[in-house]
Structure 1
Amino acid sequence: MSTGPRDPFENALADLLIPLARAMVARGVTIGTATEALKKALVAAAEEDSDPPPNDSRVSALTGLHRKDVKRLRSEDKDVPERRSCSAAALVVGYWSTAPQYLSKDNQPRDLPRKGSDDDPGFDDLVRQSRIDMAPGTILKTLVDQRLVTKLKGGNLRLLSKAFVPTAGSAEQVAAYRATLSAHLAAATHNLIAGEAEPLHFDRAVRYSHLSAASVEELRAISADKAQQLLQDINARARQLQDKDQDSEQKGRFVAGTYILPTFPENKEG
């Protein structure tokens, strides 16, 4: 038994898991499913942080999992089509709302035919130019299902929103939840365990308490406006850079996100 000081991360773990636990309870996810997910995550972490790749016995020693569990989990299919569909749809929306060939004279997304021409690119051209390895029909179905695109009487397609915000409770929302939180956690975790010589990711937040409801709402509105503009500017520049790098073999990835958490604790008497 260890006699040293307790790692403060152990005390933080429960608080970190509470938001996930709330989502689990709300969606009827039981401890059995959560345990299986944690096992998969531990195996993935052991594989990622070991060089050369560890064998099953080494993964078992690092994680405390039984070697039979390790072998089973490492052989499972890791494809995640819902996540791919969500990311692809978001990229198409971003490209449609920023690429000059898909904008009108007043810089609004044009209505697009499904099949375009050299002078008038269509939706299928948009998907290809977004560099997405998925069928245009699959992406279109996702966008229509999420009420982000509507089909007009003449057959053209109209973009209804410049932001991909999935409908509540949908598989696409789960995929977005997964992608957004996993990216933020990855950045924060790197900063937590990075060596002295490793550069840290940008990860900042502003926190204030003892505010009135009116003050919280004012800060929420200001933050939402500025965050939306920032993301739109980054999206436009990222699309330009992706076009410039289109013929290269570069595989670099970039994620930037924001979050706003206004809270109004209930006053409990007694």
Structure 2
Amino acid sequence: MSDTPQDPFEKALAALLAPLSRAMMARGVTYGSAAEALKRAMLQAALDQLAAEGGNGRISDSKISLMTGLHRKDVKRLRDDSAQCEVKRTVSAAAMVISYWATAPDYLDNKCCPRRLTRAADDAGPGFDDLVRQARIDMAPGTVLQALIEQGAVAEEAEGVYCLKAHTLLPAGGGAEQVAAYEATLSAHLAAATDNLLAPPEGRRHFDRAVRYSHLSEASVEHLRKMSAAKAQELLEEINAEARKLQEADEATQSDADPKRRFVLGAYILPAPLADKTPSTPEDTE
């Protein structure tokens, strides 16, 4: 028997994979498909790590195999595979268009509500096609509009007149668009948490906190859910409007060669039955 203590991350890994495994089983994803996805992820992690360490020139398949435990033939096969995900691109474009439509002054009425748009500019101001260009979306406006209509975020009120029905893109359950949104949301949060886990003791950490209570009645949980949802939505809309203004200002002053940075703010609420022995005390972790 080995005297080497088990890395606590190994135990945490099973808990982290539990909800993913539940989603996999519901979607009919087998272990073989999951193993293939893990191979791709470990390959990319190795490439990113070596790049961050200042690796120059082409990194050999053998070195990546040694770092990850992947077979060299798998490394070569995966490095040669350059498949792209068009659905993810469409979801990102649709979300950005909604953001601009809900916050940009040119697309708001005198009550600061998103105004109805025609495809082309009219007496009221710029149209939907102008909106797509202003949001810097490299896709055909008709494609973006159709995606928004299919997801219920936009409706055609009269012939050629469109209105914004939701300030947030909520893809239809189980569809490819929802899977892309699921990926984008969870990957960003997990990346932030992983950066914090790997940060040196005095290193900078991302803001990542949660409040947890475990001995509440159903009525109390529902009260907290409604309160949290309202406050989180208010914060997200406020940050969304500010981020759009800052991005427009940055685009006016920065050159194409200037580095671009990403900002993500998310929120989640989990009302659930008691499933463990977590003490009835608030916790926040950073």
Q: Do Structure 1 and Structure 2 share a fold, with TM-score over 0.5?
A: yes
Which deviates more from structure 2 when the two are superposed, residues 109-118 or residues 123-132? 109-118
Match of 1:206 among 206, 211, 214: 211
| TM-score for both structures, normalised by structure 2 | 0.89
Query: Partners in 1 of 2:49 and 2:122 — Cα distance?
Result: 48
Q: How has the CA–CA distance of structure 1 residues 7 and 228 changed in structure 2, closer, same or farther, with 3 Å as cutoff?
A: same
Deviations 1:152-195 (A, max 9, x none): 22311111111111111111110000000000000000000112
**3-state DSSP of counterpart to 1:150:** strand
Query: Partners in 1 of 2:114 and 2:153 — Cα distance?
Result: 12
Q: How has the CA–CA distance of structure 1 residues 154 and 15 changed in structure 2, closer, same or farther, with 3 Å as cutoff?
A: same
**3-state DSSP of counterpart to 2:129:** helix
The CA deviation at 1:109 is 0.5
Partner residue, 2:230: 225
Alignment of 1:97-108 (within 5 A): 97-108=102-113
Q: What stretches of structure 2 of length at least 5 have no aligned partner?
A: 276-286
**3-state DSSP of counterpart to 2:163:** strand
Partner residue, 1:175: 180
Q: How has the CA–CA distance of structure 1 residues 17 and 76 changed in structure 2, closer, same or farther, with 3 Å as cutoff?
A: same
Query: Partners in 1 of 2:61 and 2:219 — Cα distance?
Result: 56
Alignment of 1:1-270 (within 5 A): 3-50=3-50, 51=53, 52=55, 54-116=59-121, 120-247=125-252, 248=254, 249=256, 250=258, 251-265=260-274
Deviations 1:35-93 (A, max 9, x none): 10000000010011113163211110111000000011011114221111111111110
**3-state DSSP of counterpart to 1:245:** helix
**3-state DSSP of counterpart to 1:84:** helix
The CA deviation at 1:198 is 2.7
Letter matched to residue 84 of structure 1: R
**3-state DSSP of counterpart to 1:225:** helix
Q: What stretches of structure 1 of length at least 5 have no aligned partner?
A: none
Query: Partners in 2 of 1:65 and 1:90 — Cα distance?
Result: 36
Q: How has the CA–CA distance of structure 1 residues 36 and 118 changed in structure 2, closer, same or farther, with 3 Å as cutoff?
A: farther
**3-state DSSP of counterpart to 2:237:** helix
Letter matched to residue 173 of structure 1: Q
| TM-score for both structures, normalised by structure 1 | 0.94
Aligned residue pairs: how many? 266
Instruction: List 4+ stretches of structure 1 deviating above 2 A.
Output: 1-4, 195-198
Deviations 1:2-61 (A, max 9, x none): 642111000111110000001001111111110100000000100111131632111101
**3-state DSSP of counterpart to 1:49:** helix
